[in-house]
Amino acid sequence: MSATPVRSDNPAALALAVRHRFRLAETLPWLLALAFYFAFPRYLGFGTELLITVLFAISLDLALGYAGIVTLGHAAFFGAGAYTVGMLAKHEIWTEPVSGLFIAAAVAGAVGFASGLVLLRTTGLTLLMLTLCTMGLLEEIANMAAEVTGGFDGLDSLPIKPLFGIFEFNPLYPYTQYLYVLGVLLVCFIFVRTLVYSPYGHSLTGMRENTLRMHAVGAPVRMRLIVCYTISAAIAGVAGALWAQANAYVNLSVLGLDRAATVLIVLVLGGYGRLYGGIIGAVAYMVLAHFLSKAYPTAWQLGLGLLLVAIALFARGGILGMVDNLTRPYKERKAQ
Amino acid sequence: MIVEIANMLLGGLAAGMVLFIVSVGLSVTMGLMGFVNLAHGGFAMIGGYVIVLAMNRLGVPFVPALLIGFIVTAAVSVVFERLLYQRLYRAPELDQVLFTIGLVFIMIATVTLAVGPETQPLTLPDSLQGQLNLGFMAYRTYSIVLIAIGVVIMLGLWLGFERTRMGAQIRAAVDNRRMAESLGINITRLFTITFAFGSGMAALGGGLGAEFLGLDPQYPLKYLVMFLIVVAVGGLGRITGVFYASLIIGVLDFTLKKYLPQGGTVFIYAMTIMLLLWRPQGLFGRPA
């Protein structure tokens, strides 16, 4: 392990180095997100929700797409973060938003670490059931401990302090929320991008593709999975905390199977294990859901079901996978 | 005191029998193919709807309606299995999960569109209503009948599993699919038959349990975790395992709902987590 990597002229090494380099096109989603702020001031509430979904999907991508941990209970961490912020604010213990995110990340990360420590020994159906049951357990606890969590009704009118002491969070005009969430999302995205392109990130992909071989080459598989699960949980906790702060309430919906299934669908729709899959999937899903699910709830569900079946059978890479398939002939021609 | 305990046991056992009838097919198909079928509850719902609609709209008596439900659902499930499921037997779990969640959504939406979102009431025949005198106490006739049906089905399945050629083939395939295949067992056919039969059983369970589980389009999602817990606790591909697990969970759930209406579910989740950590293969499954 030398401190400075030696640039080799080997084409494979060059390809690897180029693949991870920052490209100008990567600024596009962020510019669009900023443009949205100015173009659709009336839809900023929707935009905020969309950005939070993107963050949540990215956190799931880290565990599911990169490390290959098939989980149905990721909303447990979203809920842990949301309830942390919600309870601290409602009982007036901590109402400052930015530091609240760190507390939420720490709590959700701790839940992820503790559950990952025992859960990740298992695989397959057992793992699926354990993640599902852990989420169900948290949901029931949140429902039962009504004194602190508000039970079924949740906690509303959370007193969140202005951002940096200046910018008020106004639930009716969510200008602050939108930019705040966008900023946090950018920071988290850069973090995750760096992480998955690091040697650590590549070892995660290795474990997803062939656990046995990773064991054989001496990688500390379980420890890395636990660390990955913890980071993923912490980011999901940040997403949940943002949700609670932006809406100024929390309720049981942050913890349920609905939310866990939705984020899974979002990620798979965009394409998992691809970094941008969460962004594309969230935009596609949320826009469709926004216009269809209220007006035609049953048809929406039917369409969603058909879409999922189609993705599972024919388009495993999601939207980005399809784009890849369509552009591959062109790219190959260019390479020749 | 004794009456109270008997009340708990009988109510819980009746609920457990329904759980068993619904989940047994899921356990066997998961054990056979390792397929994560989250849509199994959907077949229970389809069966329940066929049975209740046949009774309420066509005036079919209860028992023939149950048979119709079994046959229709088994037939529908064969179509699904041949056309869709079998493409995903070797696919990664995630694809199976997505596919079956999608299927659940399709089933829910279809039932909502075709029948409506409201709960379908099941009217039991007069002979099954009322109380049955057990000597030391009286109890709901229907619960006693459910327990009897459950025991009969269990015995029938056990005999079929242990004493027939088909059952031996299924057991062999659950234990070691490759070996069974190389002995010339036609796994594809075996699986289609098992899948159809399991879905038919789920349909029976959906109809028999409609009286207290309710029957509305959200049924497959509402009880998804419950069915999965039963299968995971009982162990994959073990009929006796599913039977005991169903009874334990049925009685626990019934008792806890009565005495601890708030925290009952917490206990079941916590118990399942502990158990799966201790024995990932389930209470009665064989270690992998």
Express each pLDDT in A63-97 by its tens digit. 998 888 888 889 999 999 999 988 888 777 777 78
In the predicted model, is pLDDT for residue B189 greater than 70? yes
> Pairing between strand B131-133 and B138-140?
antiparallel
pLDDT of residue A60: 93
B225 touches chain A (CB under 8 A): yes
Question: Which chain A residues are closer than 8 Å to B30 by Cβ?
Answer: 125
Angle between helices A221-247 and A75-90 (to 10 degrees): 50
Which strand (E) or helix (H) includes residue B132?
strand B131-133
pLDDT > 70: percent of chain B = 98
CB contact under 8 A, A144 and B228: no
pLDDT of residue B199: 92
pLDDT of residue A2: 46
Question: Which chain A residues are closer than 8 Å to B95 by Cβ?
Answer: 312, 316
CB contact under 8 A, A124 and B34: yes
CB contact under 8 A, A129 and B228: yes
Give ipTM to 2 decimals. Answer: 0.84
Q: What is the residue-averaged pLDDT of chain A?
A: 83
CB contact under 8 A, B221 and A257: yes
A114 touches chain B (CB under 8 A): no
Domains assigned to chain B: 2-278 (1.10.3470)
pLDDT in tens, B38-70: 899 999 999 999 999 998 888 888 889 999 999
CB contact under 8 A, B96 and A312: yes
Which strand (E) or helix (H) includes residue A185?
helix A175-197
Question: Which chain B residues are closer than 8 Å to A144 by Cβ?
Answer: 262-263, 266
A125 touches chain B (CB under 8 A): yes
Q: Region A101-106: what's the mean pLDDT?
A: 91
Q: How far is B222 from chain A (nearest CA, A)?
A: 10
A152 touches chain B (CB under 8 A): no
Question: Which amino acid, A70?
Answer: V
In the predicted model, is pLDDT for residue A127 greater than 80? yes
Closest CB to A126: pick one of B105, B112, B276: B276
Q: Region A227-256: what's the mean pLDDT?
A: 90
In the predicted model, is pLDDT for residue A27 greater than 90? no
- Nearest residue on chain B to A266, alpha-carbon basis: B98
CB contact under 8 A, B103 and A302: no
Q: What is the residue-averaged pLDDT of chain B?
A: 86
d(CA B129, CA B218): 27
Q: Region B85-101: what's the mean pLDDT?
A: 87
pLDDT in tens, A60-72: 999 998 888 888 8
Task: Name the pLDDT band for A28 (thresholds 50, 70, 90).
Answer: confident
For residues A164, A165, A167, A170, the Cα torsion angle rounded to the nearest 10 degrees is 120
Closest to B50 measured CA to CA, from B33, B62, B39:
B62
Higher pLDDT, B6 or A171: B6
pLDDT of residue A199: 85
Closest to B231 measured CA to CA, from B173, B286, B283:
B283
- Nearest residue on chain A to B93, alpha-carbon basis: A124
pLDDT in tens, A150-207: 777 777 777 777 767 676 776 667 777 888 888 899 999 999 998 988 888 888 888 8
Q: How far is A303 from chain B (nearest CA, A)?
A: 8
Closest CB to A137: pick one of B110, B224, B269: B269
How many Cβ contacts (< 8 angstroms) between chains A and B? 125
d(CA A224, CA B34): 27
A124 touches chain B (CB under 8 A): yes
In the predicted model, is pLDDT for residue B5 greater than 80? yes
Q: Region B145-149: what's the mean pLDDT?
A: 89
In the predicted model, is pLDDT for residue A18 greater than 80? no
Q: Is-contact A71 A131, C-beta < 8 A?
A: yes
Q: How far is B217 from chain A (nearest CA, A)?
A: 11
In the predicted model, is pLDDT for residue A231 greater than 90? yes
pLDDT of residue B74: 93
CB contact under 8 A, B105 and A301: yes
User: What is the largest distance, in Å, between two alpha-carbon atoms of chain A?
Assistant: 67
* DSSP string computed for A229-289: HHHHHHHHHHHHHHHHHHHT-B-GGGTSHHHHHHHHHHHHHH-TTSSSHHHHHHHHHHHHH
pLDDT of residue A209: 84
DSSP-derived 3-state class of residue A331: helix
Phi, psi dihedral angles at B241 (to 5 degrees): -60, -50
Mutate to test the interface with A, among B85, B101, B262, B281 (most CBs of A within 10 A): B101
Question: Which chain A residues are closer than 8 Å to B277 by Cβ?
Answer: 118, 121-122, 130
pLDDT of residue A165: 67
Closest CB to A133: pick one of B84, B110, B273: B273
Q: What stretches of chain B show up as alpha helix (H) in DSSP?
A: 2-33, 40-58, 62-83, 93-114, 141-163, 165-175, 177-182, 187-213, 219-222, 224-234, 239-259, 264-278
Q: Which residues contact B152 (CB under 8 A, 6 or more apart)?
A: none
Higher pLDDT, A8 or B135: B135
Task: Name the pLDDT band for B122 (thresholds 50, 70, 90).
Answer: confident
pLDDT in tens, B215-253: 888 888 888 888 888 888 888 877 888 899 999 988 888
B259 touches chain A (CB under 8 A): no
Distance of CA A5 to the CA centre of its chain: 31
Residues in B 82-111 with any Cβ partner in A closer than 8 A: 84, 87-88, 91, 93-99, 101-110
Task: Name the pLDDT band for A7 (thresholds 50, 70, 90).
Answer: low
CA distances, A271 to each of A58, A64, A281 (Å): 11, 11, 7
Q: Is-contact B88 B96, C-beta < 8 A?
A: yes
CATH, range A39-296: 1.10.3470
In the predicted model, is pLDDT for residue A1 greater than 60? no
DSSP A167: B
Higher pLDDT, B178 or A146: B178
A308 touches chain B (CB under 8 A): yes
A302 touches chain B (CB under 8 A): yes
d(CA A138, CA A143): 8
